[in-house]
Every structure is written in C-alpha cells, then in structure tokens.
Structure 1
C-alpha cells in the first residue's frame, strides 16, 4: 500500500550527511517561546480587543505570522512534536501524566542537534516530556534546565522548582522567574551560538497572576466573548487575559535584552502556543477549545522573526505545525543532519524567505486516543467523518462531505493509515532509576493502595495523603539501570501525634526503614492566590526530606514499595517524593 504521507516524510529529505558544524556566519541564535493553554484569540494582533499584547504584536510586524499553524490538543504531545519533528504518536508520548508524557529515549531532540553543532542550550520553564534520567531535559540535549518537569504546578509564586535535577526555590512569579533565568542564559552566552527554549506554564491553571496585571481585568465585562457566551466563565476569562498580558511583558523583556546585547539581528525568535485556550473565551469563532481536535483546539498563534532574513510583516497562508520547527531551524542554521528516524515536518524556510514559491498541499494530523482529525490546506475531516471547508467556514458550521466525495475519501484514507501506523496505546515502560546521581520519584508517578489517596484528582503535582493503616502502601514500577548503593529519601509531612511512625522502602529484595522522630506539619497553600477556581489542581505543601537509609540494589525491574511498619498515632505520613540517590 503506498504511503499517504509522502509530502510529510520526504519533502525535507531523510538521509542527508551527518551533522557538521555550521560556519560561524550561519549559526544564528534561537529563542523559542512557548505558552501553555493560550488560544489563537488571546492576542491583540489577532483582533482581540479585550487585551493588549503590544510586544507580541510588534514581533509579528517585524517577522512572519502564520495564519494556519497547528499543534496538538494537549501540552506534552505538542512538545514532543516540536522536539522531534515527528507526530507525537510515534514518539512514545501517550498523554499528559503518570508517565504517558515521556518522550522515548531513542528519539533525538532539536536540542541535541543544536548541541552537536556547537550550540549552548538551555530550557527555562515547563518541560513535560519526562522527569527521571534519561528522560530529563539535561539528558535530552539541554546544558541548563530550570523549571518543572510535570504537567501542572500548584503554585506560581516562588514555587519549588528543578535546576539541573536539584530541587530549588523559585524567585517571584513563575513566568517572570523563567524569563529572568532565560535572559541570564542569553547574557552569559552572548559570545556563543545558543538555543534558548522558554516554555512558559501560563495561562495554564492555577489562574494566578500579580495584582498589577489582574487589576485591569478584575471587573471587566469583555467586549468580545466566546461564540457560545453561555459557556464562558467570565472569572476564568479575566484571569487568563491578565496572565496573557504578563506573558507579553515578559516577551518584551527578552526582546529588549536581545537589543541591548546587539544580538537581535542574528537571533531567530519564535513565539507559539501548545494547544487551544483552556476555557471558552473569544477565539475567532472557532469550534472547540483545549482538548478538542477541531480548529479551536489545535490552531494557535505562531510568529517567527529573523531580521534581514525573514521579511517584516509577512503573512503565511499555507498550513504548518509544530513538527516543522526542527527541520526549519536546522535549515536556517545550516545544520545538516541524518535523521535516525523518518520525520513528519518540513522546512518552512522557503515560505519564510521567498516571495514566490510552489508549495504542495500536505496533511497535518490531530489525534487523541483513537480519534483522528485531518487537515489539509482547504479542508478538515473531523473524527465523526464530517468535512469542513475551513477557507470558507472556520467555525465548522456546515458539513460539505456530500459535495466533495473524493476529498472525503482521500482524507479518510489518511486517517485510517495514521490509526494503523501510530495509535497502539500499550505503554509498559517503568520509571527509570540510577541513570544519574539522583532520581526523583514523585507521587504523580506512583500509586496509593488501601486508604491512601491523592491530594487532588490531577496527579501531576499531587501528593499522597490519608495514610491510615499498616496495610496501606505506596508503590512505583521502577527499573534500576545501574547496580549500587542508593539512599532512599522520602519527602514527608507528619503531625506531632503521628511521630514515631516507622517507614520502610523495599525494592528488588532489599529493605531499609527508619522512624520519623520529628514532626513536620505545614499548612497547604496555593488556592488563596487563585483568581478563579483551580478545579483539579492540587494545593501544595513544603515537604521535608528524611532518609530511610541505604538500599544495595542490583540492576532490574521491580515494584518499589513504601510501607508503614509501625503507626503509633492516627496515621502515617504524607508523601510528595521518594528520591533514590546514588552513594
């Protein structure tokens, strides 16, 4: 059967010479800014009169704005496509939590290509493609990482963060903090070619933002509303708009830093979002929001600027997507690569730099579990088999399938092949231990048994609580990659009345235990800073590390079990992490 993705897989060329260092003059810096849950309509450059995003608008005036740019329905899949140039279902990513967000270790990332070519690489923000080495960003090509690896974070003001696989305390509002770190990276590496990835975690919930941004919107009745105003939650809209204006301010700070350092002319700046908006608010009349495979869930902002190379105020109509960043940026940087696996993206350099080119039609896929939607330049086939002419009907109001049977059959064939090639959903990967000095195992990646439950429905930044019995356990499915001695450190809370509880860690036939002798019972926090109900997001606590002793472990896969050997009070402990650290 002939492939139905020839344009996607062959257009860029799969087997070019292996990576070589580009000449200095052709080694532009790259700053890639990714926002989280920001819809196409959340920018004033797209016509939203509810807010002002002057810095992003100016970026569009100075560069190219894509009119039809597509990503995935959720966060981790889009990140996987950007990092690899491949449809996310090929990469091991299956979802957004409990290990499903991990990018297979045999995938090569855009950061690895740039690092191999002599670039300094850094990422500052939400990673969301794996926490434990070899999935951690420091193992995927990034020299420096500062942020969090999970999909959700419960508090945005000076939260606990990860700096190169060490827990640290953030400084100030999280988006401002990520920007500060990114600007320092740029300044520190101004004399070297750099790849700087800035994946913000806003306007994703919790809906927290400093007063100076929120006050403008606190009582606003937005002039422009969702196409179904009854679905719009004005409190959510107000908070999201405020968070978007904060993002714009931070984008302006990065652009100003590039100007101050005289780097702007040799720096490619990219701005895009990871999926549709996280609520029903104005989005250009499109159908759907985050999680949807329709236009409103997958069409997002995308702007690319490179002065002197990409003409100013360019508007690009051909469809493009996150899978195209890797081949495009390698092309711009003169990095020739032999791709270890077929890629689905194509280089957009001709669209960005040439005035008149022939550009063949192509297919972009949106998928969720076994649901598939296919977009070509004119049409969208949705998962229900309806066909929409997007050039005439962006809102997907009229099914034109009966009028275009050949197009319908063609796009259905594309969807069928995608399902057959890329949608097996079995994921039996364990969580990896021992591939670096310290390995965190958060509650997100474990399971509570007996009376133990999570602090909230969304696992991402949750902790285990309600541990009442010696029959209760917490477990992780792990694989130890290197034999050796590992110190087991539990991050716990324990009220005074439960002091004396004895906690045991057991793995691969080895055990160690210790008795909690010091109370640590902090209050939870986070929701008091919310501008709107956080829903499934967990509150947070400041957990304290406590050593359970040393496990002498062989290589192998097993269930790591935390149990309580003795509970003198009403319960045991709450658990945020178990770290296994090589001695």
Structure 2
C-alpha cells in the first residue's frame, strides 16, 4: 500500500482535531505545528530591475523566475540597501543600515586589513541557528577575508562558494589570479561553468539538509550576471582574460547576447533547484526569495528607471524582489510596498520564531503583511554612497537626491526617470526631506575617507590589488 508523507500528516491532523478540546487544524496549520519553514534566499549579482522577463525584459525569457513570480508576489518598489555589493550584503546579514558598521562603508571589501563583518555581530543565519535551523551559504561571501572574517564565522554551518567580489566563470580565479572557489576553507578544485556548479551544489545541499528533522536556511548567492562577460561555452574568453594584465577586469568584452545567456543560465539553475524542492516534497514547506544585490551594470535593463550600479538614481538601487511564501503569499500578486533588503531579517526571524538581538535592533521592518497582500503603506528610507558624494531619502512618493553639489526633488511614482526637479516648486517637501536625511545621517558612522570605493578607473583598482 502506497502511503505518502502528506497523507500521513493529513490523517494525523484529522485525528488530533477529533480529540476532546482540540482546535481543528487546517493543512497550513498542521505544517506549522510540525516544523518551522525552510528558507531559500537567492541573490543575483548586478542584475538590473528590468532584467527578468516578468519585469519587462524582452530579449530573452527567464522561465523559472517568471514561474516563481506567478506562484507568489512580485514587488515593484523594492530597493537594494545600496548601489553596490558588499554594503547591501551587510544589510542582508544584519537587518540594519549598513552604515552602522565599518564594513558597510567599504566597497569592495577585502582591500584593507581588519575590515569585514565582525563574527561577534548577530546575523540572519546565526539568529536562525539559535532557534534550531541548519544554515548554509552556496556562492558569494564578499564580507571580509580570513583569518578574521568568513561565512563559517558568521552563522553558516556550511559554505561552498567564493570569498571575493568577482570570479571568472571557468577558471574560478578572482582579481589578481587568486583561486577563489572553496568547500569550507579548502579549495574546491572543481571544473565547470560556475553558475552550473553553484546550482548543483545548492541542490546537493538541500538534499543533505532536508534529510534532517531540523529546518534549514540556505543562501544561494550567484556571481551572475557580474562581469567577466562569459556565457556557457565561452572558455576561450576565460583563456584570453587569463593573459590580460588586469585579469578578469576588462572593458572590451561582452554583448547583449552574452549577457542574456548569462542570465538565462542562472535562471535555468534556479529552475532545477525549484524542481528539486518539489521532488523532495518540501516545496510547500519552503519560503523562496529572489533579489539582486544592487542595480544593473553595463548590459542591464533598468527600465523604466535611469542610472546603474554605483548610483543612487533609481536604476542603481531598484531591484527585482520575488517572494513565494506558502500559506502567506497569493499567486500572481503584485505589491507596491516600498521594501529594502534589510527588511527580510526581521521578517524571516519572526516567521521562524526568532528575534533580533536586543543590542542590535533592526532598522528593517517585518513585511509579512505586504507579502500577504496588504495595501502599501507610506515609509521613509535613506541611502548614502561615497562615490560622487551621493545621498538620498525617499518619503512616500517623494525622493530627495544629492549628487556632489547638485540637489534634486523627484516624485518617483509620477516621474520614475527622475527628469523633473521639483525642489523649487515644492520647497516645503524638499526642506523636510533634507532635514530627515540629516537626522538619519547623524545616527550613522561617518564616511571613512580611507575606505576604498570602486569607481570607474581600472588602473586604480589594479593598484589596490597589486599591493596584495
């Protein structure tokens, strides 16, 4: 007689409901009494707001992520905490504005000794581990180098991936020709296209962790579609770059076609992972979240916004956010709620029965109501980036923006391309947002003039890495 795990659970719930004084349990309620939800958090690298077909891209199709959006909620006003990688990842790990930590002022992290995510700071994986979760990072770390810093020091039980910010898809070498693919603290020594390797390892990790009675949290952080511009089958480009004095840093490579193939390759691996969850019969017990660490770069589509990575224009900080939360999100729903990367820390902790450390309160908010379909609420959020002395505050539909000595006021709902500067028409709103940003700024660490912020000068970056 074939008896499925779900039928046994359903029967158990029915029996419990017939006991004296018992409260009838629905399917979702029975699942909650059995275990906390599994969590898979997927982060793309430098993916633009409009780079998925469900967000408007027309040159290629992202079938797996489109299917994920169709089964859950797609946010249209989601922001990465910053327009660059490491700082946003700091916010994702801590649930706090990245400017509260020295590591959040640095990009790329790893160029100055002693700068990284402190192992003593509570993180999303460490706080989930406290309430019984297994934790794993598959993919990109980029929050500090050994021996002081590393994913295994900041709450992850398992790590398989890259420590640095950018890695060749075939040679697995970071800038400066340093090998950078690790199984824990040991070189992985695996050959293959990196996106495919990360996809397979994520499936292996889920199979391993799902065998336990403990729930799991897995971060899957792709390097795609970050440069170097290498699609599957482009080994010749990797060989060419290995002879380049700047290694994988180059300005003469890539194309729209190559970029699309990189994104589609990532989408394919996400589809394989989603299928694995179904085959393991844990899809209904697993929250899946997808986003990008910042806005897009050279070949990205950021429509209807302008701007790109390293800029506080909307195109540099708007990111796709897709959430499939069984029992909470509704299929094919769209939310206009303003959210930030850091919001997922208090949100997921609340769902798991955990909480923030009292000495490190969250700046992010619990967004479960928005995921469930509640109307959007007005909110004030702040941004800061050293490159070009940029700062911004969004309050409701209004956005204050400063780039060097130029200041602006935009209604980013009516004017998403930030064309009409309304600061003279609405001086009251402009003054209020400038004051709000100044008050927030006073609570953050000051910008560190010694921090290295990645700009557009390749020789500057080369000089930094050559000092290693």
Same fold (TM over 0.5): yes
**Aligned partner of residue 382 in structure 1, secondary structure:** strand
Kindly tell me: are residues 155 and 243 of structure 1, through their superposed partners in 2, closer, same or farther at Cα, counting changes over 3 Å?
Answer: closer
Q: Is the 8 A contact 1:150 1:460 kept in 2?
A: no
1:249 matched residue in structure 2: 268
Find the aligned partners of 1:271 and 1:129 in 2 and give their Cα distance.
Answer: 20
Find the aligned partners of 1:58 and 1:212 in 2 and give their Cα distance.
Answer: 28
Encode CA deviations 1:386-414: one digit per residue, 9 max, x unaligned: 01111111100111112222221121012
Q: Is the 8 A contact 2:53 2:66 kept in 1?
A: yes
1:88 matched residue in structure 2: 98
1:538 matched residue in structure 2: none
2:189 is equivalent to residue 177 of structure 1: no
The partner residue of 1:201 within 223, 242, 251 is: 223
Q: Is the 8 A contact 1:152 1:460 kept in 2?
A: no
With the length of structure 2 as denominator, give the TM-score of the two structures: 0.80
Find the aligned partners of 1:461 and 1:242 in 2 and give their Cα distance.
Answer: 31
2:18 matched residue in structure 1: none
**Pairwise CA distance, 1:202:** 1.0
**Aligned partner of residue 128 in structure 2, secondary structure:** helix
Encode CA deviations 1:407-465: one digit per residue, 9 max, x unaligned: 21121012212333324234899xxxxxxxxxxxxxx9xxxxxxxxxx97535995x5x
Q: Is the 8 A contact 1:146 1:163 kept in 2?
A: yes
**Pairwise CA distance, 1:319:** 0.5
Q: Is the 8 A contact 1:374 1:411 kept in 2?
A: yes
Instruction: Please state which structure has a larger fraction of its residues in strand.
Output: 1
Kindly tell me: are residues 419 and 312 of structure 1, through their superposed partners in 2, closer, same or farther at Cα, counting changes over 3 Å?
Answer: same
Could you list the runs of 5+ residues in structure 1 that have no partner in the other structure? Answer: 1-21, 215-231, 430-443, 445-454, 465-473, 476-583
Structure of greater relative contact order (alpha carbons < 8 Å, 6+ residues apart): 2
2:339 is equivalent to residue 320 of structure 1: yes
Structure number with greater Rg is: 1
Find the aligned partners of 2:464 and 2:282 in 1 and give their Cα distance.
Answer: 37
Equivalent residues in 2 for 1:5-404, closer than 5 Å = 25-71=34-80, 72-93=82-103, 94=105, 95-97=107-109, 98-99=111-112, 102-157=116-171, 160=179, 161-190=181-210, 191=212, 192-211=214-233, 235-279=254-298, 281-353=300-372, 355-356=373-374, 359-368=377-386, 370-383=389-402, 384-404=406-426
Find the aligned partners of 1:210 and 1:82 in 2 and give their Cα distance.
Answer: 29
**Aligned partner of residue 115 in structure 1, secondary structure:** helix
**Aligned partner of residue 177 in structure 1, secondary structure:** helix
Find the aligned partners of 1:336 and 1:421 in 2 and give their Cα distance.
Answer: 23
Q: Is the 8 A contact 2:131 2:353 kept in 1?
A: no
Kindly tell me: are residues 242 and 33 of structure 1, through their superposed partners in 2, closer, same or farther at Cα, counting changes over 3 Å?
Answer: same
**Pairwise CA distance, 1:26:** 5.0
The partner residue of 1:415 within 406, 423, 437 is: 437
1:535 matched residue in structure 2: none
**Pairwise CA distance, 1:86:** 0.8
Find the aligned partners of 1:356 and 1:415 in 2 and give their Cα distance.
Answer: 28
**Pairwise CA distance, 1:152:** 1.8
Q: Is the 8 A contact 1:68 1:318 kept in 2?
A: yes
**Aligned partner of residue 365 in structure 1, secondary structure:** strand
Q: Is the 8 A contact 1:273 1:301 kept in 2?
A: yes
Find the aligned partners of 2:460 and 2:390 in 1 and give their Cα distance.
Answer: 24
Kindly tell me: are residues 36 and 314 of structure 1, through their superposed partners in 2, closer, same or farther at Cα, counting changes over 3 Å?
Answer: same
**Aligned partner of residue 383 in structure 2, secondary structure:** strand
Could you list the runs of 5+ residues in structure 2 that have no partner in the other structure? Answer: 1-30, 174-178, 237-250, 453-457
Count of aligned residue pairs for this structure pair: 402
Instruction: Please state which structure has a larger fraction of its residues in helix.
Output: 2
Note the aligned Cα RMSD (angstroms): 2.8
With the length of structure 1 as denominator, give the TM-score of the two structures: 0.64
Find the aligned partners of 2:392 and 2:35 in 1 and give their Cα distance.
Answer: 38
